[in-house]
Amino acid sequence: MTLGDLIAILPQTILEGLLLGFVYAMVALGYTMVYGVLGLINFAHSEVFMIGAVIGLEVFRFWGNPAAPVIPNPFLLLLVALLFAAVGSGFMAVLVERFAYRPLRKRGSKNILVPMITAIGVSFLLQDLTRIYAALRHNEFNMQYRTYEALNQVFELPLQTTIQMKGVLIIGVSVLMLIGLTYLVNRTKLGKAIRAVSQDMQTAALMGINPDTIISRTFLIGGALGGVAGVLFGLLYTNVTPYSGVLPGLKAFTSAVLGGIGNIPGAMVGGLILGQLETLSGTYLPFLTNGNFGTEYKDVFAFLTLVLLLLFRPQGIFGQNVSEKV
Amino acid sequence: MNGYVFPFTLAFTALSVVGALLRPASDLVNLALLASVALVSLGRMSTAWRSGLLAVLALTLTLLLRLNPGDKLAFYGLLGVLIACFLLPNLSTLVRVALGAAILFISVPIAGLTNSFLFELGIQIGIFAALALGLNVVVGQAGLLDLGFAAFFAIGAYTWGIFGSPQAAQFIEGFPPGGLPGNYLYLFMALAIITAAITGVLIGLPALRLRGDYLAIVTLGLGEVVRVFANNLDKPLNITNGPQGITPVNRPEVGFLTQFLQAIGAEQVYGKPIDSYITYAFFFYLLVLLVIGVVILVNIRLANSRFGRAWVAIREDEIAAKAMGIPLLPTKLLAFATGAAFSGIMGAIFAAKQTFVSPESFTLQASINILAFVILGGMGSIGGAVVGAAAVTVLNIGLLKDFSDLLNTWRQTGVTILGYNMANLPPQLNPAKYERLVFGVILILMMIFRPEGLIPEQRHRVEMQEARQEAKEGGGK
């Protein structure tokens, strides 16, 4: 391939990175918001995301059967799937908080590892519960999203790029959700309360905010975003397994750290950056190294970038440097 | 009521011993034995009686296992005795060591020579225990959260896997085509310590400048990097043979063990030839036991040394430790290198034992499992790491599988339980396949009800109690 060819595929690569980046950004928000209020890496969030994808899949499967559709319009069907996934994942996140994390908080353990191990336990539990569900309900492990002509319709864009209808929808939905979240966090009373709790839980409680309610709502919002992202992810890659939340969850968490964990705009930017890094390295690494190091190394590239960035800016791109007091 | 426990225990033990002598194959005897083990371990009695009864029970269980090698309940009973003599307070060290050694070196081999599953289980527990001990140094003692620990295990495994197999000849000209002979494993166990420790320092150098959660995510990322390299370094130069993995990896010669078994007349005793499969299982069981013993000794010595105290100081308060003149980065690097070395040596043994190395064994899942052993056992506690690894391994490859088999028998015979005909149970419900679910539930329950682990480190136990006290006095914030 000549240099010209490499440049010619650049716009398409960036566009694909954008799709992936938006999905990461939405999942990263769930990690970063929980981290903001509790200082906890919520490992179970990747499963909340995966459950969103499974709920979306079930909606498509049962109400969108081409032979006898309950909802014939794929766009409406997608909307219903997004709604169900948002509600289902949101409540799943709230349940996880209520039954796994809150008892620990009440006991006042100072060890930060304890809630994290619980999160890992919850993550295992949800993975296998989904696996049992998939095995009993469909007798399968790999679940396929239905495909629709209307969603796969291809549009030509300038600079030799093309985008499918579902790509447009992914960008549209994500942008709407991100704008909505920014408004919610910055302009509403609930948002103010979330910010207050994440700054100082005790002082917030003194100001008449009930931290438990706010933490619960934070999980609800983060979970709902994760659920929506799950459906979009399923639409993009069409294949969902009970374990398919793990890797995107890891990447999304990396994005959150990249942007400065606990920082909401940081998570969005971090997600978009990681999406770009992944698709760009996936496309260009084979050419740059004469095929010796192929697309398989895109994750290595993403993680090494994270390590490098953290070495020079340990607090992430937008994070504030908090110096420790004795 | 306490006054009745002792005579009751005595009667029960006597009953099970007599039962074992008269009707060794009955489940009733097994259950009586299990009950005796529980009574002897938990009941109230003098130390001398307890030690004596434990020894009698160990002997009876060994006899039962010799008579029916496949006796699962007797095996769990023996495991119970082993754990009891490891954990019970007030036993004299001599009794602990003598009874523990007798079970590990005499009882298990006697039963294992006809039922190699016992050796397999022992080997697995040993390997996982070494990994848990390694991670325990890093997370438990130095307080550095490492989520990519399987990487060091991988380095150890590939160190021997590449050179002890036809793989090395693929990229080094003039290398013996079959790889180095199996006896080089001993040399490579030492080399694996070195390569793993060096990798530990290399990963630690950038990662250890970060703190807490950032350290966790960076070690996780770097652990994945090692796995991705193992998975893809089959080109441009075929070093790891990619996802197919390397096979066959050479094993050391075990002629001496065969001769030993012949010398003691094992074949006559068992009435059948001891094949090479069992001899190898026996060999690796002994090797793992030896290595784990050395690892535990080194670990205890380190924990009580200047370095051990420096690690704890860093874990408790990094800034205060620095103010006391502890050089932070070198001390943390030492913890990383030590932990890596423990798992590196087991990696080499693992490669030889499996005769197969592939990236599959070193995923993020593996790292998290090792972390779970440490947490379950009790962070920072050496005994805890071993017990955590043993408990989870027995659960995974012992109990869950047995439970699956039981469900299968019920399914086939169509037993009705609580009004439900078991024949209608869907075949997808197979507990052995859902180890994560069980594991997840255990982790959650442990963290809620006993966050300090099964055998807490002294320091942690005090802390947790204080935290609980505070929470109570504060009325629960």
Which residues, numbered 330 to 389 in chain B, qualify as contacts with chain A under a Cβ-Cβ cut-off of 8 Å?
A: 364, 368, 371-372, 375, 379
Judge whether residue B462 has pLDDT over 70.
yes
pLDDT band at B476 (very low <50, low <70, confident <90, very high): very low
Residue spans per domain, chain B: 1-112, 115-379
pLDDT band at A181 (very low <50, low <70, confident <90, very high): confident
Mean pLDDT of A234-263: 85
Please tell me the distance from the alpha carbon of residue A163 to that of residue A15, in angstroms, as a whole number.
Answer: 8
A108: helix, strand or coil: coil
Of residues B5 and B224, the one with the higher pLDDT is B224
Which residues, numbered 27 to 46 in chain A, qualify as contacts with chain B under a Cβ-Cβ cut-off of 8 Å?
A: 35, 41
Judge whether residue B44 has pLDDT over 60.
yes
Of residues B296 and B239, the one with the higher pLDDT is B296
Please tell me the distance from the alpha carbon of residue B255 to that of residue B315, in angstroms, as a whole number.
Answer: 48
pLDDT, tens digit (0-9, with 9 covering 90-100), for B85-123: 777 777 777 888 888 888 888 888 877 777 778 888 889
Q: How near does any CA of chain A get to the CA of B207, in Å?
A: 8
What pLDDT, on a 0 to 100 scale, did the predictor assign at position A110?
Answer: 66
Q: How near does any CA of chain B get to the CA of A317, in Å?
A: 13
What pLDDT, on a 0 to 100 scale, did the predictor assign at position A80?
Answer: 84
Other beta carbons within 10 angstroms of residue B93's beta carbon come to: 7
What pLDDT, on a 0 to 100 scale, did the predictor assign at position B22?
Answer: 67
- The answer to whether A104 contacts B448, with C-beta atoms less than 8 Å apart, is yes
* Residue A307: closest C-alpha in chain B: B218
Of residues B308 and A69, the one with the higher pLDDT is B308
Provide the percentage of residues in chain A whose pLDDT is more than 70: 95
What pLDDT, on a 0 to 100 scale, did the predictor assign at position B153?
Answer: 92
What pLDDT, on a 0 to 100 scale, did the predictor assign at position B341?
Answer: 92
What pLDDT, on a 0 to 100 scale, did the predictor assign at position B193?
Answer: 92
Judge whether residue B265 has pLDDT over 60.
yes
What pLDDT, on a 0 to 100 scale, did the predictor assign at position B230?
Answer: 86
Judge whether residue B282 has pLDDT over 70.
yes
- The answer to whether B225 contacts A106, with C-beta atoms less than 8 Å apart, is no
Which distant-in-sequence residues (6+ apart) come within 8 Å of A131 by Cβ? A141, A242, B434
Tokens 């051990």, residue located: B308
Which residues, numbered 215 to 244 in chain B, qualify as contacts with chain A under a Cβ-Cβ cut-off of 8 Å?
A: 216-218, 220-222, 224-225, 228-229, 231-232, 235-236
Q: Mean pLDDT score of chain A, rounded to an integer?
A: 83
Judge whether residue B46 has pLDDT over 60.
yes
A129–B contact, CB cutoff 8 A = yes
Report CA dihedral (A13, A17, A18, A22) to the nearest 10 degrees.
Answer: 170
What pLDDT, on a 0 to 100 scale, did the predictor assign at position A265?
Answer: 82
pLDDT band at B154 (very low <50, low <70, confident <90, very high): very high
What pLDDT, on a 0 to 100 scale, did the predictor assign at position B291?
Answer: 92
Provide the percentage of residues in chain B whose pLDDT is more than 70: 92
Q: How near does any CA of chain B get to the CA of A214, in Å?
A: 15
A275–B contact, CB cutoff 8 A = no
Of residues A326 and A175, the one with the higher pLDDT is A175
Judge whether residue B80 has pLDDT over 60.
yes
What pLDDT, on a 0 to 100 scale, did the predictor assign at position B477?
Answer: 40
By CB atoms closer than 10 A (0-12, 13-18, 19+), residue B37 is: buried
Closest Cα to residue A102, out of A3, A214, A191?
A214
A242–B contact, CB cutoff 8 A = no
A100–B contact, CB cutoff 8 A = yes
Judge whether residue B187 has pLDDT over 50.
yes
Cβ atoms A259, A317 nearer than 8 A:
yes
Please tell me the distance from the alpha carbon of residue B56 to that of residue B17, in angstroms, as a whole number.
Answer: 8
Q: Which residues of B touch A123 (CB under 8 A)?
A: 440
CA A75, A79, A83 angle in degrees (round to 5)?
A: 170
Judge whether residue B197 has pLDDT over 90.
yes
B462–A contact, CB cutoff 8 A = no
Q: Mean pLDDT score of chain B, rounded to an integer?
A: 81
Tokens 């997840």, residue located: B440
User: Nearest by CB to B225, which of A108, A118, A304?
Assistant: A304
Q: Which residues of A touch B441 (CB under 8 A)?
A: 121, 125
pLDDT, tens digit (0-9, with 9 covering 90-100), for A194-222: 888 888 888 888 888 888 888 888 899 88
